[in-house]
């Protein structure tokens, strides 16, 4: 049996341990303060690099940001509303669709609440339903009575909610790799962490931005895989905006709470009567297409599913022509989507 320390040594040892712990805590606090300062500085740089090119509009207690392209003189399509996915902003769909459609339709590209330059608003905007209501209010402010709603990824859940709660404003739906149905498992750990009380805001304001900067290029490769990332995509879509602390936290809350929301919303999808076209890839590593896209085809009474071989999570960029053809078909134009899909598949097939 070891002998106990002499009584006169024990207080001295406790003092040494206390000083050691204080030093550690001071070191951690210093690192956290430095990370916080860097995050705020870098967030300002990101905002300067990607300034707001849209317009802020009050929609009832908070402001939504959007790019509104007025109806061109020779328009042959009805108004189009584009809803971006998680970690995105309005520049993402703008980069894919504006040029090919600018002479054909009135278009509204929106930053969902808490994304890009839109303000977050109240707690109702935590769900796709609340975000759909905000978009409907914005459409009314812009004088758009009805539109075809195009939603990518998380924006698919918002688009479905829009059609469910605003059927009179919905001409039709185009879903691009949508996230709309309950799925097994959860979400990436950092979404749950950022959504945790107290710890979450600390994480968003210290570690998230510098860590995210190191992962941006790798993340884009993962999102597009197996297809190549278009040259200049991260800048064109202003993806770094999501790393700003407030945006990161709002995005994380959206993603972390999506599963609970779609569990409640999915049984009501059968009430949606608007025509819908779902475009998905068989190689999507972000969203389980066999659950979400097939689920929409099953649940929406007036829907069509296009299952594209060798396509990842970004049909808006990789199969833009197919997405536009889907919009045209919803608008009433005769389009052979199966034939166009085969052309896309031939174009993106792996080279032997």
pLDDT in tens, 61-115: 999 999 999 999 999 999 999 999 999 999 999 999 999 999 999 999 999 999 9
Quote the pLDDT of residue 31: 63
How is residue 22 written in tokens? 């204080």
pLDDT in tens, 324-344: 999 999 999 999 999 999 999
**Mean pLDDT of all residues in the chain?**
92
Residue ranges of the alpha helices (H) in the chain? Answer: 9-49, 91-101, 128-141, 154-165, 189-194, 199-206, 208-224, 233-236, 245-265, 289-299, 315-318, 320-330, 337-348
How is residue 223 written in tokens? 């999102």
If phi over 0 gives left and psi between -120 and 50 gives alpha, with beta otherwise, what is residue 198? left
pLDDT in tens, 116-170: 999 999 999 999 999 999 999 999 999 999 999 999 999 999 999 999 999 999 9
pTM of the model: 0.91
Q: Nearest-CA neighbor of 98 among 144, 43, 46, 54?
A: 54
Q: Dihedral through CA 337, CA 339, CA 341, CA 342, nearest 10?
A: 170
Q: In this model, does residue 5 exceed pLDDT 50?
A: no
């Amino acid at each position: 049996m070891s002998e106990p320390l002499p009584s006169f040594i024990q207080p001295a040892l406790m003092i040494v341990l206390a000083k050691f712990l204080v030093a550690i805590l001071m070191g951690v606090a210093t690192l956290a303060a430095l990370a916080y300062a860097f995050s705020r500085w870098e967030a300002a740089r990101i905002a300067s690099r990607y300034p707001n090119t849209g317009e802020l509009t009050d929609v009832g207690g908070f402001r939504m940001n959007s790019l509104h392209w007025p109806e061109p003189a020779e328009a042959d399509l009805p108004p189009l509303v584009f809803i971006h996915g998680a970690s995105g902003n309005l520049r993402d769909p703008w980069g894919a669709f504006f040029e090919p459609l600018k002479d054909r339709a009135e278009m509204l590209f929106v930053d969902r609440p808490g994304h890009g330059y839109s303000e977050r608003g109240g707690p109702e905007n935590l769900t796709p339903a609340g975000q759909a209501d905000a978009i409907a209010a914005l459409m009314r402010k812009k004088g758009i009575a009805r539109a075809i709603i195009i939603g990518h990824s998380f924006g698919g859940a918002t688009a479905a909610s829009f059609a469910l709660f605003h059927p009179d404003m919905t001409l039709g739906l185009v879903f691009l790799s949508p996230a709309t149905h309950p799925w097994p498992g959860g979400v990436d750990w950092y979404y749950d962490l950022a959504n945790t009380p107290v710890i979450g805001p600390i994480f968003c304001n210290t570690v998230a931005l510098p860590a995210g900067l190191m992962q941006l290029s790798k993340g884009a490769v993962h999102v597009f895989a197996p297809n190549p990332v278009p040259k200049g995509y991260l800048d064109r879509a202003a993806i770094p905006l999501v790393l700003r602390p407030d945006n990161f936290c709002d995005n994380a809350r959206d993603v972390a709470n999506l599963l609970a929301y779609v569990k409640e919303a999915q049984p009501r999808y059968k009430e949606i009567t608007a025509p819908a076209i779902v475009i998905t890839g068989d190689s999507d590593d972000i969203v389980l297409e066999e659950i979400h896209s097939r689920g929409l085809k099953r649940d929406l009474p007036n829907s069509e599913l296009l299952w594209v071989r060798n396509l990842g999570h970004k049909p808006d960029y990789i199969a833009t022509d197919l997405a536009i053809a889907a919009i045209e078909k919803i608008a009433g134009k005769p389009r052979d989507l199966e034939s166009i899909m085969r052309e896309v598949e031939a174009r993106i097939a792996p080279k032997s």
